[in-house]
Structure 1
Amino acid sequence: MKWAIGAAVCAWGLAACVPAYGSGTGSAMPSTDVITGSLFVANKRGNSLSLIDLATGEETNRVDSCANPHELATSPDGQHVALACYGGTTVDIFRTGDLSKVKSIELGANARPHGIVWQQDEAIGRDTIFVTAEGRQSAFAIDYPLAPQPDITEISTSQRGSHMIAVSPDGSFAWTMNLGSGTVTLLDTGDARAVRSQEIGIEPEGDFNCAGRLDPLGFGTWFRQSVRARSNDARNS
């Protein structure tokens, strides 16, 4: 199993979220039969990408990346990891095995890509990377990202600071959290258009939960349960 985590969390998460083990704790180190797999870490300030062996807790590889990578996503088959290069204008793709760089996908001037999701439409065998572009007030759908010429579609949110993104299981709809505007925007990825934006609070940048059935044309219960904002005055439709 492959695990991916952004540096904004991982910079402290490895120390804060793992319980201390040793004399007087009453706990034993978990068995390596339980903890397996790999952890990929985008080091924002270090401009690098790290690979950590979860069985040992050791960093086994680190390579230079783009400037200020904020978020990352692994491919559905676990063979690649994509970095959103917040300090630049690209999505950079690396092999998970040795962290060798495969390619950079250019998104255009002032893109500042941030939130990123990589999923597959199994029915037609198409991989798609969805990524926000804060500096362009938009999001991108990158079909066949590993192809020599990916199919790239930009969808305007017309909202300031489009930060994080969630995507419906079938890829038909996406939602962006817009820090500057204090809104959530629903995107129709098929028609490449913003359906509506909803005010929700000051600087929303919360996590999304796409499990279960989603109502693409409304914000309702799903948003009441899933959106977290920095302020205490978040409103729900």
Structure 2
Amino acid sequence: MSQPGVESAASLILQRGVELDNKRRYTEALICYQEGLQLLVDMIKGVTDVQKKKYLRAKVEGYMSRAEKLKAHVEEEKESGKYHEQINIENDSTGHDYQKVFGRFLDEHVTQVHVEDPYIRNFHQCQNFLRLCELLVKSCINLKKVSLLTSLDGNGKDQLQRLESIKDDLHSRHILLTIDISDTLHDRQIRLSNGWIIKIGRGLDYFKPPTGKFSLGFFDYNFRYCHETVVDIFHSKDVRLL
């Protein structure tokens, strides 16, 4: 990519960071700031024009200052137990797979994950849970345990067979999956052992079905149209995992 192309790409990413910053979606904004700044820093190394280099350095310093203040603010809110971030997923919008929505919180510090969702019952809902497990295994290199609390689908025969298959596969990767059933469960949340709590209004099942088996979105959920839902993200130093 040419230098003008790199600068344009960096500006777009940084502008997106500002938009997210203004919407109080701070953890997403930080990622944009980091990615945009890295592009600019790498670009500066190849710039020979003194004035251009001075301009780019000033730009980097400005965004870096905001990013550092934002990071400090997030850490302060986390320490005080007051951090809250909200994402509104609009009806028929795309680009909201699990990686995009909360993948940034999945890291080497996550050893346990607790999922509460009453609708991990029919075929596609169990597939949603499998997709989540795939993301957890890929992103959380020290993951040891996943616990699921859900409700029973009728006699639960097919549902439990699907979940047992996931359990066996995770076991082969030295990860324990526990499955518990509740008749009264309503709330939906994902609790991570690093303190992050993700509450999705519709649970994991916020995707609309693909239009066909050979349409975009059948495999890549970023192309899936979504139902309207709200995602609330919190942080607690004393997150409880069952």
TM-score (norm 1): 0.27
Q: Compare the two structures and name the one with the higher helix fraction.
A: 2
Q: Compare the two structures and name the one with the higher strand fraction.
A: 1
Higher RCO, Cα 8 Å, sep 6+: 2
